[in-house]
């Protein structure tokens, strides 16, 4: 069955997940469960208690309803780590209108597509990101309403969506609560529908595994719109356990460290490049980080040697997190032996997560051997939104999601990420679909063919190299020119190549596909 592009779980699993208590009637709009008088959110000059934040969300929800946004609608949200993001998210999920969570770095190429694919009624954005004016982009988008957090020009100011709270019917727990973005392996980004009940389970179970309590002070340095910082356990996991969320504009030590010191932050989630930066920065910055108890590191592989340094250098516990917007989350546990914490990427969050590690023919490999990770469970999607062809490839007939990650499973159930089968570059946690970038490059007049590969990088893990075959008689464009070209096409900057190489021909595999392994091997590094 496929309801408006959303593939539900089959009835037997739905019954099981409900009977065994993984799924409840709780919905995302009810996630603010802290003591009304305690501080829920610190952002810039704002310091909001649970009562304040709940009131703001209710008033904004009423304002959105008055504008005509209703249960079942989709709204593309592109906001940085601000009070506006948190309030907008909470207001939308209360109504049962699903936020489509774009990242602040996305540009017209991504945003236009997300609006079209989701059939969004509205787009919510900030004024600008540095030199980039979101409002100028918004003028061309196919949405009825543009809502701006800040100076809205001709659009609707977010602050004007403020009305006396009204009775809201609200969504069903089985409704789609939020759309997350897939890292992408194809020419176009994919949308991941997450239901209220699966995402509530995701964030509550994560909060439990990570030991969150009302005393947790969680510093957000990754984009709050990313699954890791939003619900693993993230902002929402903190709200569900009554702690305090502190928003930082970035993970840069000169912004994050003073916030840790001032707010006495206890937990933070970072990608490996930020962790490496912090390990260095403590030597020249003198803020007091002694409140920090746990550093979650995920999004890309974190080397064992570096994981071992975290307790010594930053004075806190380290936790490896191997997750995906599609669902499955693996965490090293707080009481795991040091060796597992340092050398593995954790084990599945839920007893109901089903894991298979398979060879290219789909047969399970021997225990401890490397294979592709397939998974199914109470918070892993059963299909991308409105993508039937892609779904036919991305899932097994019995509903396992093909992650494209190569892993090894230890007897304890812990997974070690050994590589990747999917055509994607993991640039320090930012995911770049090779095909998406190649398609953009192919529109350049001098380029005949393009192949994008990841090259090892000590800081980022990988960086992006585009191999180009030029049209006859064309001069090779330089990196600067290619970046300007891609910027002109409205592609997010993190997807730009870091390096260009020209080739006369691409090496092929026996079946005739471009061998990216052989291409990458052409370069010394």
Residues that bind ligand OOB (CB under 6 A): 183, 227-228, 232, 298-301, 320-325, 329, 345, 403, 405, 417, 420, 426, 429, 431
To ligand OOB, the closest distance from the beta carbon of 185 in angstroms equals 10
Which residue's C-beta sits nearest to ligand OOB?
323
**Short-list 340, 101, 418, CA closest to 230:** 101
Rounded distance, CA 225 to CA 99, Å?
10
**Short-list 252, 264, 69, CA closest to 168:** 69
Nearer to ligand OOB by Cβ, of 416 and 468: the residue is 416
To ligand OOB, the closest distance from the beta carbon of 324 in angstroms equals 4
Rounded distance, CA 183 to CA 391, Å?
15
To ligand OOB, the closest distance from the beta carbon of 329 in angstroms equals 6
Nearer to ligand OOB by Cβ, of 180 and 217: the residue is 180
Nearer to ligand OOB by Cβ, of 403 and 464: the residue is 403
* Residue indicated by tokens 């939308």: 92
- Phi (first) and psi of residue 331, to 5 degrees: -130, 140
Rounded distance, CA 238 to CA 207, Å?
7
Name 154's Cβ contacts closer than 8 Å, sequence gap at least 6.
none
Rounded distance, CA 101 to CA 108, Å?
15
To ligand OOB, the closest distance from the beta carbon of 228 in angstroms equals 4
Nearer to ligand OOB by Cβ, of 147 and 178: the residue is 178
To ligand OOB, the closest distance from the beta carbon of 99 in angstroms equals 16
Name 105's Cβ contacts closer than 8 Å, sequence gap at least 6.
129, 223, 492, 493, 494
Rounded distance, CA 363 to CA 358, Å?
5
Name 392's Cβ contacts closer than 8 Å, sequence gap at least 6.
none
**Short-list 230, 239, 237, 208, CA closest to 38:** 239
Q: Are 77 and 103 in contact (CB under 8 A)?
A: no
Nearer to ligand OOB by Cβ, of 73 and 462: the residue is 462
To ligand OOB, the closest distance from the beta carbon of 123 in angstroms equals 22
Nearer to ligand OOB by Cβ, of 32 and 307: the residue is 307
Residue 133, judged by CB atoms within 10 A of its CB (0-12, 13-18, 19+), counts as middle
To ligand OOB, the closest distance from the beta carbon of 200 in angstroms equals 16
Nearer to ligand OOB by Cβ, of 84 and 428: the residue is 428
To ligand OOB, the closest distance from the beta carbon of 401 in angstroms equals 10
Nearer to ligand OOB by Cβ, of 241 and 320: the residue is 320
């Amino acid at each position: 069955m496929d309801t408006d592009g959303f593939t539900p779980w089959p009835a037997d699993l739905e019954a099981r997940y409900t009977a065994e208590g993984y799924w409840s009637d709780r919905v995302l709009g009810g996630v603010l469960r802290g003591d009304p008088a305690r501080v829920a959110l610190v952002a810039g000059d704002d310091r909001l208690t649970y009562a304040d934040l709940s009131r703001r969300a209710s008033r904004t929800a009423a304002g959105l309803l008055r504008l005509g946004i209703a249960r079942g609608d989709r709204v593309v949200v592109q906001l940085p780590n601000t009070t506006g993001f948190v309030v907008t998210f909470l207001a939308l999920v209360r109504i049962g209108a699903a936020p489509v969570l774009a990242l602040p770095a996305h540009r017209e190429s991504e945003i236009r597509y997300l609006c079209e694919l989701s059939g969004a009624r509205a787009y919510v954005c900030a004024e600008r990101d540095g030199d980039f004016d979101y409002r100028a982009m918004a003028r061309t988008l196919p949405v009825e309403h543009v809502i701006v957090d800040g100076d809205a020009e001709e659009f609707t100011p977010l602050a004007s969506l403020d009305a006396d709270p009204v009775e809201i019917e609200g969504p069903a727990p089985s409704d789609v609560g939020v759309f997350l973005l897939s890292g992408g392996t194809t020419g176009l980004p994919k949308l991941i529908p997450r239901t209220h009940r699966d995402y509530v389970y995701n964030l509550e179970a994560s909060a439990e595994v990570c030991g969150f309590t009302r005393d947790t002070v969680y510093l957000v340095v990754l984009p709050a719109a990313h699954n890791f910082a939003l619900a693993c356990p993230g902002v929402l996991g903190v709200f569900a356990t009554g702690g305090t969320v502190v928003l930082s504009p970035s993970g840069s030590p000169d912004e994050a460290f003073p916030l840790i010191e001032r707010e006495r932050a206890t937990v933070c989630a970072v990608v490996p490049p930020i962790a490496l930066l912090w390990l260095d920065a403590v030597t020249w910055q003198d803020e007091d980080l002694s409140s920090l108890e746990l550093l979650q590191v995920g999004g890309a592989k974190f080397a064992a040697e570096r994981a071992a340094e975290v307790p010594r250098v930053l004075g806190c516990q380290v936790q490896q997190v191997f997750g995906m917007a599609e669902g499955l989350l693996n965490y090293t546990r707080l009481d795991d032996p040091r060796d597992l914490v340092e050398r593995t990427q954790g084990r599945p969050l839920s007893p109901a997560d089903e894991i298979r590690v398979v060879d290219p023919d789909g047969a399970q490999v021997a225990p401890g051997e490397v294979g592709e990770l397939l998974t199914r469970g109470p918070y892993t999607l059963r299909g991308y939104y409105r993508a039937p062809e892609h779904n036919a490839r991305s899932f097994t007939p019995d509903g396992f999601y093909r992650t494209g990650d190569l892993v090894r499973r230890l007897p304890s159930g812990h997974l070690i990420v050994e590589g990747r089968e999917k055509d994607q570059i993991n640039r320090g946690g930012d995911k770049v679909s090779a095909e998406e970038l190649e398609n953009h490059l192919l529109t350049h007049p001098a380029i005949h063919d393009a192949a994008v590969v990841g090259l090892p990088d000590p800081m980022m893990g990988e960086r992006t190299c585009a191999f180009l075959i030029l049209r006859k008689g064309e001069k090779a464009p330089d990196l600067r020119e290619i970046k300007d070209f891609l910027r002109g096409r409205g592609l997010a900057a993190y997807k730009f190549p870091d390096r260009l190489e020209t080739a006369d021909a691409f090496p092929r595999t026996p079946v005739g596909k471009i061998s990216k392994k052989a291409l990458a091997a052409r370069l010394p590094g």
